[in-house]
Structures are given as structure tokens and as C-alpha cells.
Amino acid sequence: MKFFAFHLMPWDRLPADFAERYDSAWTTVPNSLYDSQHGGQLYNDYLDQLVLADKLGFDGVCVNEHHQNAYGTMPSPNLMASILARQTNNVKIAVVGNALPLYNPPTRVAEEFAMIDCISGGRLIAGLVVGGGPEYYSFSLNPTHARSMYREAFDLVLRCWTETGPFEHYGQHWKLRYVNPWPRPIQQPHPPIWIPGAGSKETIQFVAQRRFAYMGIPYFHLDFFQRNFDLFRDACEKNGYTADPEQLGWLLPIYVAESDEQAWAEYEEHLWYFVRNLLKGLVIFPPGYTSVRSIAGIQRGLQQFMTSCQTRDDIERGGYAIVGSPDTVREKLKTYSQRLGVGNLLGLFQIGTLPHELACKNMTLFAEQVMPKLRAESQR
């Protein structure tokens, strides 16, 4: 089992009546709600938390890309990753990921990821993603082209890393006379590749066929994760091999305190801010963004999305977040990770309005009292 600290870098100062006044925390949420001075402090606090993960012995840290929203104020995860590449020594740096259809040309992704890999001494994990539905509204991109643009860009990025240049690329969406990226990554033939998904059959089959790693998008009921991970394992078998647990990642909010009661007392208001404000508008599928056969399964899963939760019991029954004492968190994570068959645990240790001090305390308790025993048990 590998342990990663995942960060969204959320906005923590939406007005108290946000859920009543606004339909979404995405795309059209007014940027007049953003305070640049406070935003600067948040960025530095959030980076400090990820640097702390390196000092605490986590296996990796994760950042990701979202635009025009309050959920995750990180339109350029590569900027954050480059800082972390310089300020950390041991952790893998997972950018999960760059939304390839948003880059014109996508060779920019190959170049910037190679820079991060070189600065970090070969610690990059490259997330190559389609991008969430809201991003296509933010960039005014035709969502019916999302999958074909992604496939072409994906193959082009891999060519940049595995073929010497210059070479030519003439595809449906990009035509490049000279492809000759400097620099090239340290890791050969290329950095490890992670691809997140929310249940699209096309994504599951694509990742299994290429033998990369599939990261389950969070905020769903455990049963939804189980279904998708089983589909991935079946797809791997159909491609002639057995999936390795390290090809699967489970991302979820985690909070540890001295007791169950104290954990919920410290955490609950911050969790509900996140659920009731920041998740509004996240799950949007523009017309043509995914196939008819995939959307049916995803829509069933949305009936068990985290926004359907009303109480602490709902959160606990569905495994949407793991909250409690070190013993409680350890036992739940052990049981659920064995059930899901995953080799990568991606924890959201800061969420919503959770202040810096509590986020650092949470990570420290997890690293000192939860992670060592889980790691030992996974190695038996």
C-alpha cells in the first residue's frame, strides 16, 4: 500500500448563504467572491501541508487541475508541482492531472511534465486526463470532441517522451511540422501514468488496454468504487493479464483526532461546507462528453453521490469519508482497502474550510499512528 496526500486547494470563504443564492461553485460562480490577499495565504498554507507530507514519510503528494471554480483553485497544477519538486526530497509528485484537450498544442504538457521530472530527480507521476465536464464550459470547447482530442493528445505526449525528435504530427485536431521537445523526462521510457475516472467504460477499457493505473474519482459510495474497480480488473483480464493493486487508487477525505468524538467535533462543519457548497455543480456531463452506454451507469452512481448525504450516519455508512480516532481510521481503511483491492490510498487531509493547523495535525496523526501499521499489514 502506498500513501498519498492529495490536495484540492479549495476556497474557504464562500458566503454563509452561498448554497441558497448560487446554483454552482463552478464556471459561473462570480470571481468577485475571491480575495487575492487571502488566496495568497491559502496557497502558501496548502503548499506547506504538502511539504509536510514529505517530512512525515508519505509516499507521494497529489495536485490537480480545475478552472473557474471555488472547489479547487489550482488552474495550473504544474506550477504547484514545480515548487514541490524543489522543496521536497522523497515523495512522488503526482499531477492528476493535466486535461489534455485544454492544451493547444498538447506538446506543452510533455514539456512541462518533463521539466518537473528533471527538477525532482525523476519523481513525477503523470496524470493525463480528459478533464471534467465543467471545464468544457469554461473553455467553450465542443464536448463531442473531448474523447477524440484526448486520444490524439495522449498518443502525442507519449511520442514526445519515447521518440527522438524532430518528428512530424498530422492528426485530426493538431498538425505540427516540428515536434522536438526539450527537455525530456528522467524516467524511461516515460514517467508512470495515472488516469482518473468516474465510471466511463471507455476510460476503464483504455487504461486497462494500455496497462496504466486507474484512479477512482471520489465522493461516491463504496459500492460504486467496488463496481468500477471490478470492471477494471475484468478489463485487464480480457487484455491478457491480472491487474496489480498498484494500478488502482482510492481517493477520499480522511480525518484523524484523539477520539471519534473529537474527530467529528473538529471536522464536521468543514466537511458539510465542502459537500453543500463546493460540490455544487461538479458532476456535469455536457452533451456528447461521454457515451450513452457509459452515462447510464454513471447516472445510477450519482444517486449515491456525496451530495445525497444529510447526516453523519450517511457519511459513515457509505464510506464517503473516514473520520475518527487512529484505531477507528486504521481499521476502516484496512477493511475497505482490502475489499476494494487497491494499492494506492489517496487521502484528502484538508477539505473545505478546515484550517491549516488542523490539517497539519490530521496529517501528523495519520502518519504516526495509522500509516505505519497499514503499511506493515499490506506487506505481509
45-65 pLDDT tens trace: 999 999 999 999 999 999 999
Say how many C-beta atoms besides its own lie within 10 A of residue 291's C-beta. Answer: 12
Cα of first residue to Cα of last residue in the chain, in angstroms, is 11
Mean pLDDT of the region 339-344: 97
Counting beta carbons within 10 angstroms of the beta carbon of residue 174, is it exposed (0 to 12), middle (13 to 18) or buried (19 or more)?
middle
* 369 has a pLDDT exceeding 90: yes
Q: Give the alpha-carbon dihedral of 75, 78, 79, 81, to 10 degrees.
A: 120
CA 297 to chain centre: 21
Beta pairing partners, 323: 255
* 139 has a pLDDT exceeding 90: yes
Helix (H, G, I), strand (E, B) or coil at 231: helix
Mean pLDDT of the region 272-299: 82
pLDDT in tens, 241-262: 999 999 999 999 999 999 999 9
pLDDT bin (cut points 50, 70, 90) of residue 302 is confident
pLDDT bin (cut points 50, 70, 90) of residue 200 is confident
Q: Is pLDDT larger for residue 201 or for residue 63?
A: 63
Mean pLDDT of the region 138-165: 95
What value does the CA radius of gyration of the chain take, rounded to a whole number of Å? 20
pLDDT for res 80: 98
* 296 has a pLDDT exceeding 80: no
Amino acid type, 207: V
* 187 has a pLDDT exceeding 90: yes
Q: What is the mean pLDDT of the chain?
A: 95
Measured CA to CA, the distance from residue 362 to residue 349 in angstroms comes to 7
CA 225 to chain centre: 14
Amino acid type, 70: A
pLDDT for res 303: 79
pLDDT bin (cut points 50, 70, 90) of residue 169 is very high
Mean pLDDT of the region 24-51: 97
Q: What structural domains does the chain harbor?
A: 2-379 (3.20.20.30)
Which cell numbers hold the place of 190?
516515460
pLDDT for res 354: 98
* 212 has a pLDDT exceeding 90: yes
Q: Give the alpha-carbon dihedral of 208, 213, 219, 224, to 10 degrees.
A: 30
Cell 455536457 sits on residue: 286
Smallest CA-to-CA distance from 165 within 192, 151, 183 is with 183
* 295 has a pLDDT exceeding 90: no
Counting beta carbons within 10 angstroms of the beta carbon of residue 273, is it exposed (0 to 12), middle (13 to 18) or buried (19 or more)?
buried
Q: Can you state the angle between helices 107-120 and 77-87, rounded to 10 degrees? A: 20
Helix (H) / strand (E) element for 37: namely helix 36-56
pLDDT for res 304: 84
> Phi and psi at residue 54, in whole multiples of 5°?
-65, -45
pLDDT for res 283: 72
pLDDT bin (cut points 50, 70, 90) of residue 75 is very high
Where would I find the beta strands (DSSP E) of the chain?
Answer: 2-6, 60-63, 92-99, 124-129, 167-170, 175-179, 193-197, 213-216, 248-256, 322-324, 344-348
pTM over 0.85: yes
* 131 has a pLDDT exceeding 80: yes
Smallest CA-to-CA distance from 151 within 67, 210, 213 is with 210
Mean pLDDT of the region 75-91: 98
pLDDT for res 281: 86
pLDDT bin (cut points 50, 70, 90) of residue 284 is confident
Contact 213, 92 (CB under 8 A): no
pLDDT for res 150: 96
> Phi and psi at residue 278, in whole multiples of 5°?
-75, -25
Contact 220, 304 (CB under 8 A): yes
* 297 has a pLDDT exceeding 90: no
